[in-house]
Amino acid sequence: MADAASNDGFVVFDRVQKSYDGVNLVVKDLNLSIAQGEFLTMLGPSGSGKTTCLMMLAGFETATHGDIRLDGRPINNIPPHKRGIGMVFQNYALFPHMTVAENLAFPLEVRKLGKSEREAKVKRALEMVQMGEFGGRRPAQLSGGQQQRIALARALVFEPELVLMDEPLGALDKQLREHMQFEITRLAHELGITTVYVTHDQTEALTMSDNVAVFDDGRIQQLAPPAQLYEKPENSFVAQFIGENNTLEGVVTELNGDTCVVRLDDGEELDATPVNVSKVGERTKVSIRPERVEFNKDRLHADAHLLKAEVMEFIYMGDVFRTRLRVAGNDEFIIKSRNAPDQVRLEPGSQIEIGWLPQDCRALDA
């Protein structure tokens, strides 16, 4: 993704490296450009370097190498309190000895705003998160979801152009989390602020973001809008990490432009789109989404390669059927089909043939 870092982004990471001990790099050569008003999510497993990147942007960690630029100016040597970046912390970090209104007024006070202006802004921020009644309460008197809203209001009250969020919804229950996902995206778009959001929850990343940067091993594995990330993963890690995915291993035997043929280890062949394979004879992992697997031959090309499969288990999930197959020795091959009136319910033990459109099956790195 070296070409993604250009100089015109609002937030730019330019060949940034970070090491805590001087030996191991936690962040390896990070290049990232975030446009003004963009909602970017850093998604990755724990230890992938995403939180370190956020902390470097906030100023709580310093980059070992490389530049971080905010609106064109390098911020490596600017202390956190002079960066003017809003942040929502994982545990909210509300000041327990202040009331909600005092918490919100804090960033305005240190900016030396007048009392009436402060009060007006605090009131507006509280109303923005529908917490207008709660100004006089202490954080401990609020529920987790309410504290979350206050933390959000406090990060926005001084009208920063960039807001960072470090897994802000991690402590909430599922229903509240979904509601807050919606609220945060709505606010971010209404206010036109640039948001950098860190999470390990891929659903959150897909539903909220304009762009998602998938982190692993200190690098951005792929930076793309959610739909592209899900449908066109660029490597095996992204394919595995985002959504449910079936993987088969084999060797490329034919390569003709935008399609290729892969021979699996048991000798069967399939059609795929070459993504990170460059020559015949290379080993590859092919990735195919469960909902793109087809077992109705009428819907496939006449000359498409088909694979033999044995139905292992049929699971009724309401809106979809989830069927587990054995394909080329892989017991964990999943297909999902919509619960439609004409849908076939596969019987465990039956032998079927499956196939797919070549563009849905991607030959990635082995």
Partner 1 sequence: MSGIPSYASTGQRVWYYTFRVICGVIFFFLIAPIVVVMPLSFNAQDFFTFTPEMLRLDPAGYSLKHYRDFFSSPDWQQALGNSVTIAPVATLLSVGFGTLAAIGLSQPHVPFRRAIMAILISPMIVPLIISAAGMYFFYSRLGLQGSYWGVVLAHAALGIPFVIITVTATLVGFDHSLTRAAANMGADPVTTFRRVQMPLILPGVISGALFAFITSFDEVVVVLFVGSASQKTLPWQMFLGLREQISPTILAVATILVVISIALLTTVELLRRRSEKLRGMSPQ
Number of residues binding to partner 1, judged by CB under 8 A = 31
For partner 1, the closer CB: 114 or 281: 114
- CA–CA dist 88, 90 (Å, integer): 7
User: Are 250 and 283 a contacting pair, CB within 8 Å?
Assistant: yes
Indicate which single residue of 96, 257, 281, 349 sits in contact with partner 1 (rule: CB under 8 A). Answer: 96
Smallest gap from Cβ 57 to partner 1, in A, equals: 11
What is the spatial distance between Cα 199 and Cα 155, in angstroms, rounded to a whole number?
Answer: 18
Considering only 103-111, 179-187, 254-262, 331-339, which stretch makes contact with partner 1 by CB under 8 A?
103-111
Among 124, 158, 296, 357, binds partner 1 (CB under 8 A): 158
Closest contact distance (angstroms) between CB of 94 and partner 1 is 6
Q: What is the smallest separation between the CB atom of 144 and partner 1, expressed in angstroms?
A: 8
Report whether 18 contacts 63 (CB < 8 A). yes
Side-chain half-sphere exposure of 145, counting CA atoms within 13 A? 14
- Contact track, partner 1, 120-149, x by CB under 8 A: ------------------xxx------x--
Instruction: Name the residue nearer to partner 1 (CB basis): 2 or 140.
Output: 140
By CB under 8 A, the residues from 72 to 91 that bind partner 1 are 79-87, 89-91
Q: Least CB distance from residue 107 to partner 1, whole Å?
A: 4
Per-residue string for binding with partner 1, 41-60, x by CB under 8 A? -----------------xxx
Task: Work out the number of other CB atoms within 10 angstroms of the CB of residue 140.
Answer: 8
Under the binding rule (CB under 8 A), the answer on residue 197 touching partner 1 is no
Residue/partner pairs of 58-64 with CB below 8 Å, 24 or more apart = 58/83, 58/85, 58/87, 58/164, 59/83, 59/85, 61/18, 63/16, 63/17, 63/18, 63/27, 64/17, 64/18, 64/19, 64/25
10 is a contact residue toward partner 1 (CB under 8 A): no
- Which position among 6, 47, 110, 280 is part of the footprint of partner 1 (CB under 8 A)? 110
- Of 58 and 327, which has the nearer Cβ to partner 1? 58
> Which is nearer to partner 1, 60 or 182 (by Cβ)?
60
Q: Which long-range contacts (CB under 8 A, 24 or more apart) does 242-246 make?
A: 242/43, 242/202, 242/206, 242/214, 243/202, 243/289, 244/289, 244/290, 244/334, 244/336, 245/287, 245/288, 245/289, 245/290, 246/287, 246/288, 246/289, 246/290, 246/293, 246/327, 246/330, 246/332, 246/333, 246/334
State yes or no: residue 115 binds partner 1 (CB under 8 A): no
Please state the closest distance from residue 232 (CB atom) to partner 1, in A. Answer: 36
Type and span of the H or E element at 116: helix 115-128
Q: Report, in Å, the least distance between residue 229 CB and partner 1.
A: 29
207 C-beta neighbours (distance < 10 Å), count: 14
Q: Tell me if 170 contacts partner 1 by CB under 8 A.
A: no
Q: Is 187 in the site for partner 1 (CB under 8 A)?
A: no
- Is the alpha carbon torsion for 226, 227, 230, 232 positive or negative? negative
Nearer CB in complex with partner 1: 194/222 = 194
Residues that bind partner 1 (CB under 8 A): 58-60, 79-87, 89-97, 106-107, 110-111, 138-140, 147, 154, 158
